[in-house]
Amino acid sequence: MLLRPFDPWRSRLCTCPAKLSLNPYTGCTHGCLYCYASSYIRRFSDCRPKGGINRLSSEISRLQGNELISLSNSSDPYPPMERELGITRYCISAIKRRGLRLQIVTKSDIVLRDVDLLSEMRAAVSITLTSLRLDSRLEPGAPPSSLRLRAIRMLADSGVPVAARIDPIIPGINDSEIDELVESVADAGASYVISSTYKARQDSWRRLYFAFPEVMEDLRPVYFEQGERVGGYRYLPAEIRHAILSRIREVCHEHKISFGSCREGFGSDASCDGSHLTEARKQRILR
Q: What's the pLDDT tens digit per position in 216-265? A: 999 999 999 999 999 889 999 999 999 999 999 999 999 999 999 988 98
* pLDDT bucket at 270, cuts 50 / 70 / 90: very high
pLDDT digits (tens, 9 = 90+) for 172-193: 999 999 999 999 999 999 999 9
Sorted by sequence, the CB contacts under 8 Å of residue 20 that are 6+ apart come out as 3, 4, 5, 6, 63, 67, 68, 69, 70
Beta bridge partners of 193: 164, 259
Q: How far apart are CA 83 and CA 277, in angstroms?
A: 26
Neighbours of 132 (CB within 10 A): 16
- Amino acid 148: pLDDT: 98
Give the model's pLDDT for residue 286. 42
Task: Read off the pLDDT of residues 94-144 as tens digits, 9 standing for 90 and up.
Answer: 999 999 999 999 999 999 999 999 999 999 999 999 999 999 999 999 999
The pLDDT of residue 287 is 42
Lowest mean pLDDT among 6-10, 25-29, 282-286: 282-286
Q: Please say whether the beta carbons of 266 and 230 come within 8 A.
A: no
Percent of the chain with pLDDT over 70: 96
3-class DSSP state for residue 104? strand
With beta carbons less than 8 A apart as the criterion, state whether 38 and 203 touch: yes
**Nearest 10 degrees: CA dihedral of 96, 21, 46, 53?**
-50
